[in-house]
Structure formats: structure tokens, C-alpha cells
Amino acid sequence: MYDKFSLDQQELQKVIIKQIKTHYSIEVEELTLLKIGADTEAKIYKALASDELIFFVKSKYDLKNTLATDIPKLLSERGIKELIAPIHTINNKSALTIENFSLSVFPFINGEDGFTRDLTSEQWVILGKTLRQIHNLQVPFSIRKQIPEEQFSSKWRNKLRSIYFLIESEQFVDELSLNLVEFIKKNRDTIQELIERSESLAKELQTQELEFVFCHSDIHAGNVLIGDDERIYIVDWDSPIIAPRERDLMFIGAGVANVWNNTYEEKLFYKGYGEIKINKRAISYYRYERIVEDIAIYCQCLLFEKHSKDDRQVMNKHFFDMFKKNGVVDIALRTDFLH
């Protein structure tokens, strides 16, 4: 992915260290890339400063606004503690823009994300309470005008359809690409069903009067950090959206990365979230649409872009995990049928 940053890994780290010194007055002695999160256009680092303090540093490709840092600041001011507020620059900015990427610095939290550590019963309840607070939040106009509103766009459905045609016309030689293409062709009927169900439900929801609220938009287990102090932190506020609350609620029980797929976890979450009438058709739509988006992104990255061998292997694993038993595809199809 570093070709997107126009810098290789070593050069990028040198730039980051220099910018942190200039704009944060922090002398970074060691910058370590962390293999966390699922965003193919972001990198998270652990920065060790000369005074032995530790920080999170996030670089994000082509981020055109400061919502990723403005939102945690706003939520913190409103009394929501389950997040990591950004450290401001010496000029009181919450983030920097450098060439074609943004840079932000956060206090370092020792812990693991929800992909690698299960939430306790108490943490599930807290997550539910916190998300309800977020959905009830009245966002100031200065921030609200920067946040997109749900349009039920066909962007990713069309993208995935176009990839079908590209696959037929391209010649692939490496084993990973060949296996991926073979799998896509073999499972074309299932993938087509995902596209069609997403499209049908999108049209249905566009005719309904839906309540739109402030949503995180990507609140899967990889974006919930579980600290060694047992606190939870919701991270990655790059893409908030004003949408039906089901945009976030669909992740609870969806099985992203084959976690968060147990009924008892859902019950604990909703114990904290509180009573609410859920639009189950919206839940189904958002699950289908997310799968379609992920398939399109992984195919684009793995078949038509240049990425490191390690990044390709990680993305390839994420792709095939979607189709495992009790994975996102299985759960989306099964719960849609039940609805």
C-alpha cells in the first residue's frame, strides 16, 4: 500500500518522525508498525519518544477532512469516555496533512483489538450503552456539514460487477491471484445473490421513512480496542455517516473476521443499548452491502494493485474468511432468510 503514499516504508517513517518533531515537539526515537485494524489505506504505529512516553501514530492515505480527530474530541467533550482523543499539535490542530496522507497522534493504550481478545460480559454492556449515546448525539453544524448522509448508493455493487468483466479479460500468473479468481468463478452464484439482495433491499429502504442518526459506520471488532485496564475504546473515526442506526447495529452478530457471531453477545450488547425497534430489513441490507464492498475492495487490491507480500496475504485471508461457516456471508444469508 505504500505506493499510494508515494513513499516506501522507510522513507515514510522518516517523514513521520520529522513531522512529529516539528508539529508536536515530540522526539520519536523508535517507530514500530503495528499489524492491527483492517483498513488497507491506513497504517498504525507505536512511537517511543526520547522521554520514554509512548504514542499511537496513524497515517491515512487521501483523507480529505479532520473528522477522524474532530469526532473523538467532540465525543470526549460530551462525556463519552470509550474513545481515544487526539493529541493536538503546537498550533492546536488535531491532525496534519502531509503530501497525500494525513497524520494524527494519540495517547498509547496497551491492549488488543476485538479480533484477538473477546469482550467480557460487562464490556459488551458498556459497548451497547456507549453506542446508544453516540446515536443520540446532536452533532454541531460545523461538523455535521462535513459528514455524508446515507444514499443507499450502488457504487460497490457496480464496482463488483465491473470486476467480473476485468477478471475474464485479464491474465493472472501468481498463485494467490489464480486461486482467488478460481474461487470467485466457482462461487459466482452466491456473490451474485449478495449483489441482488443488497440492491433489492436498497430500493425497498429508499421508499421508507427512516430515522437517521450519527453513526460510526465501521464498528467491527477490529475497531474496538480492549485495554489492559479492561476499558474499551472505539477507534477509527475516519468515515462517520448520518444514517439509520442499523448502519452500526448490523455489526453486532455479523461475524466480521469470524468473531462477534454469538447470540449471547448480542443479548448483552442490547442490554446496554436499551429497548429499540430494529428494522431487520435494514440490518440485512447493511450486511449484504458491506460484504459486497469488501469483496470489491479485496479483489481490486489483490488482482489489480501493487501491495507487499505480507499485506496481500492478510487481505487474502480476510477475503476467504468471509465465506467460512458462521462467517459474514453465512450469517447474512441465514439471518435475511429468518427476517
Give pLDDT tens digits for 115-154.
999 999 999 999 999 999 999 999 999 999 999 999 999 9
- Is residue 2 in some structural domain? no
Task: Select from 51, 76, 108 the last residue of a domain.
Answer: 108
Average pLDDT on 3-12 reads 65
Name the residue range of residue 71's domain.
9-108
The total domain count for the chain is: 2
Q: How many other CB atoms are found less than 10 A from the CB of residue 16?
A: 24
> With pLDDT > 70 as the criterion, what percentage of the chain qualifies?
94
- pLDDT score of 156 more than 70: yes
The predicted pLDDT at position 74 comes to: 92
Residue 2 has pLDDT above 50, yes or no: no
The predicted pLDDT at position 3 comes to 46
Residue 113 lies in a domain: no
With cut-offs at 50, 70 and 90, classify the pLDDT of residue 4.
low
79-106 pLDDT per residue, tens: 999 999 899 999 998 888 877 788 999 9
Q: Are residues 165 and 295 in the same domain?
A: yes
What is the rounded radius of gyration, in angstroms, for the C-alpha atoms of the chain?
Answer: 20
Point out the domain boundary residue: 53, 86, 108. Answer: 108
pLDDT value for 337: 67
Residues 225 and 333 in one domain: yes
**Phi and psi torsions of 206, nearest 5°:** -65, -20
Confidence at residue 11, expressed as pLDDT on a 0 to 100 scale: 84
Task: Read off the CATH number of the domain in which 141 is found.
Answer: 1.10.510.10
CATH number at residue 77: 3.30.200.20
Q: Residue 40's pLDDT band (boundaries 50, 70, 90)?
A: low
Average of per-residue pLDDT values in the chain: 92
Query: pTM here?
Result: 0.90
Cα torsion for 189, 190, 193, 197, to the nearest 10°? Answer: 180
Query: What local confidence, expressed as pLDDT, does residue 12 receive?
Result: 83
Q: Is there a domain that residue 114 lies in?
A: no
Stronger pLDDT, 247 or 86, i.e. the higher one: 247
Residue 126: the pLDDT is 98
Same domain, 55 and 204: no
Res 21 pLDDT > 70: yes
Domain endpoint, select from 67, 85, 108: 108
Position 7 scores a pLDDT of 59
What pLDDT was estimated at residue 307? 87
Q: What is the DSSP track for 285-338? A: HHHHHHHHHHHHHHHHHHHHS---HHHHHHHHHHHHHTTSTTSHHHHHHHHHHH
Same structural domain, 98 and 132: no
pLDDT band at 169 (very low <50, low <70, confident <90, very high): confident
pLDDT digits (tens, 9 = 90+) for 174-189: 999 999 999 999 999 9
Q: What DSSP state is assigned to residue 83?
A: B
**Alpha carbon distance 240, 280 (integer Å):** 21
Question: Greatest CA span in the chain, whole angstroms?
Answer: 58
In a domain, 82, yes or no: yes
pLDDT higher at 308 or 57: 57
Same domain, 89 and 227: no
Same domain, 95 and 46: yes
292 and 229 share a domain?
yes
Whole-number pLDDT of residue 39: 67
* Co-location of 209 and 247 in the same domain: yes
